[in-house]
């Protein structure tokens, strides 16, 4: 009888050890599970006029892998997208993907259409607020317009992004096309969309501001 009791106690200890090991492995698996970076953008992020895999978002996937950062990229960018369109699409994207980071690359089409800057800012503010409410870290991407849109409008447009980033306490890429706009050969025939050769530069503009958000 005593031997049976000792055998049962040994069995219980073994079962307990197995259970603890399973729980530990489960916790490790959950911790190392792939996380999501959601890119909410327009044609500058949607590989407009490029071969598949040539855009900066696709290049970002490779850089994440090279840096052993376990993130999946969801590129929800659409050519022609406005801040209003991005705002309307975001709730479903947040619910579906539960992103750790949201990169907001919108506003250029608002500016090219001459939409009211107050409207653009309000839409971007709502996008940032929704992403933060979903516990995502936000990277706002700054843009600028060609000078032919008028000095006053272009200055106020460019200033919109750092002001919003400061007020919302989110990270900012000062200007997505820094180092590109001064090189005409880096643009497609429409003189608006960058060529494949420009996208590594674009990624280098994004990366220093994105990387700190990935390690938190």
Catalytic (active-site) positions: 43, 190, 193
Closest CA to 110 of 89, 82, 139: 82
Residue 113 and residue 8 in one domain: no
Residue 135 and residue 164 in one domain: yes
Residue 163 and residue 190 in one domain: yes
Q: Specify the CATH number for the domain of residue 96.
A: 3.40.50.1110
Residue 181 and residue 106 in one domain: yes
Residue 214 backbone dihedrals phi, psi, to 5 degrees: -80, -20
pLDDT of residue 23: 45
pLDDT of residue 13: 59
pLDDT in tens, the chain (216 residues): 555 545 554 544 554 654 444 444 444 333 344 599 999 999 999 999 999 999 999 999 999 999 999 999 999 999 999 999 999 999 999 999 999 999 999 999 999 999 999 999 999 999 999 999 999 999 999 999 998 889 999 999 999 999 999 999 999 999 999 999 999 999 999 999 999 999 999 999 999 999 999 985
Residue 113 and residue 18 in one domain: no
- Burial class from Cβ neighbours inside 10 Å (0-12, 13-18, 19+) for residue 175 reads middle
Cα–Cα distance between 90 and 135 in angstroms, integer?
14
pLDDT of residue 32: 44
Closest CA to 145 of 184, 118, 113, 171: 113
Residue 130 and residue 75 in one domain: yes
Question: Which structural domain range is residue 56 located in?
Answer: 34-214
Residue 167 and residue 79 in one domain: yes
Residue 88 and residue 23 in one domain: no
CB atoms within 10 A of CB 47: 21
Residue 27 and residue 82 in one domain: no
Residue 103 and residue 1 in one domain: no
pLDDT of residue 82: 98
DSSP string, the chain: -HHHHHHHHHHHHHHHHHHHHHHHHHHHHHHHS-EEEEEEE-TTTTTTTS-TT-SHHHHHHHHHHHTT--EEEEE---TT--HHHHHHHHHHHHHHH--SEEEEE--HHHHHTT--HHHHHHHHHHHHHHHHHTT-EEEEE-----GGG-HHHHHHHHHHHHHHHHHHT-EEES-TTTTTTT-GGGB-TTSSSBPGGGHHHHHHHHHHHHHHHH--
Residue 72 and residue 167 in one domain: yes
Q: How many structural domains does the chain have?
A: 2
- Burial class from Cβ neighbours inside 10 Å (0-12, 13-18, 19+) for residue 74 reads middle
Please give the structure tokens belonging to residue 99.
């992103």
pLDDT of residue 149: 87
Residue 45 and residue 26 in one domain: no
């Amino acid at each position: 009888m005593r031997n049976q009791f000792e055998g049962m106690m040994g069995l219980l200890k073994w079962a307990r050890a197995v259970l603890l090991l399973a729980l530990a492995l489960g916790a490790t698996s959950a911790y190392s599970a792939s996380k999501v970076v959601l890119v909410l953008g327009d044609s500058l992020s949607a590989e407009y006029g490029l071969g598949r895999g040539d855009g900066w978002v696709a290049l970002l996937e490779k850089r994440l892998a090279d840096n052993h950062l376990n993130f999946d990229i969801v590129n929800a960018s659409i050519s022609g997208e406005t801040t209003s369109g991005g705002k309307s699409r975001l709730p479903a994207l947040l619910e579906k993907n539960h992103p750790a980071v949201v990169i907001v690359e919108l506003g250029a089409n608002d500016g090219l259409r001459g939409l009211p800057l107050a409207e653009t800012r309000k839409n971007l503010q709502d996008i940032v607020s929704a992403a933060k409410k979903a516990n995502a870290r936000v990277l706002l991407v700054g843009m600028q317009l060609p000078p032919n849109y008028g000095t006053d409008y272009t200055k106020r447009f460019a200033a919109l992004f750092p002001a919003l980033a400061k007020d919302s306490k989110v990270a900012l890429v000062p200007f997505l096309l820094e180092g590109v706009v001064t090189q005409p050969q880096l643009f497609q025939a429409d003189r608006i969309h960058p060529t494949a050769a420009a996208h590594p530069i674009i990624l280098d503009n994004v990366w220093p501001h994105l990387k700190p958000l990935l390690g938190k």
